[in-house]
Amino acid sequence: MISLRDAAPLRLLILLLGAFVMIPASPVQAEQILPPVRIEQEAFACVDISVVKHHAQLVQNGQTEQLDKLHMVYRFAEGCAFPRPGQYMFYEGYDATSKGAFVCLRQRPGSDCLWMKRTAIGEVPTYFPGRRLEETNKGIPCTVWDQVVKKSRDTDKAIYARFKGNRPSGDGNAASEMAQGMVTGMLGMVNGGPDSHKARSLNLCEYYLLSAQQEARRLSAYEWCPQLVAPDKLAAERSGYRSDIAEIANSCLGNK
């Protein structure tokens, strides 16, 4: 994994290349955006939504004994998971029959859809801030979306500045930082000391996740209001988003 010091120049190169090799799609042809969302509460998730709804009913009724039995049955069952606060998953959609009370998330792009309660996750960045899922983004004027895009870009800059400032110490050389991380990691196994390579990796992963959320927000705005972005910049943003998602999926998710 590259260091944060090298992340911005590399992403800029990817964006520039993407602008030349990609043909921007029309809003009708726009690819689906699966934004990363943060798990805020410990959750129960399954491929079968009926199991998740049954679980929610047991919680609502205070049937703790039945809940314990259900957890025992599904703790290691294929197609179920217990996401923890602080994890990230990829938002796919919501259950219309429950008015958005349950959402479909993927542990990584291409994996099975897992259903869980909407209250377990944070903001979904592809929706206009403050909108409920069942409201969608219909009716939001493009002048308002324009302000969202500008704020998102400012947020992106702040994210980079924050993580650049919080980056663990290192000389910026990938080889020497990896060697340093291996040494401190081995020391940590012996005396409980810090693993600088792991800290550096976690720092960079969080940067990619938060940045991808802002990219997803802007891409969603462009789908509703294509006039807010030039075709070459749209292609570059899409390319940058794909690159970040690929990096996240390959290097940052501990639920393979």
**Is the pLDDT confidence value at 72 over 70?**
yes
The predicted structure's pLDDT at residue 101: 96
Q: Which residues pair with 115 in a beta bridge?
A: 46, 104
Q: What is the pLDDT of residues 126-161, one digit of tens each?
A: 999 999 999 999 999 999 999 999 999 999 999 988
Q: How far apart are CA 105 and CA 155, in angstroms?
A: 25
pLDDT band at residue 32 under the 50/70/90 scheme: confident
Q: Between β-strands 88-94 and 102-106, what pairing exists: parallel, antiparallel or unpaired?
A: antiparallel
SS3 of 163-207: the string is HHHCCCCCCCCHHHHHHHHHHHHHHHHHHCCCCHHHHHHHHHHHH
Q: How far apart are CA 22 and CA 44, in angstroms?
A: 39
Contact 207, 36 (CB under 8 A): no
Q: How far apart are CA 47 and CA 79, in angstroms?
A: 5
Contact 28, 196 (CB under 8 A): no
Q: What is the pLDDT of residues 17-26, one digit of tens each?
A: 333 333 333 3
Q: What is the pLDDT of residues 189-220, one digit of tens each?
A: 333 444 555 666 777 888 899 999 999 999 99
Angle at alpha carbon of residue 221, lines to 218 and 223, rounded to 5°: 115
Q: What is the pTM of this model?
A: 0.73
**Average pLDDT taken over every residue of the chain:** 79
- Which of 49-53, 90-94, 171-175 has the least mean pLDDT? 171-175
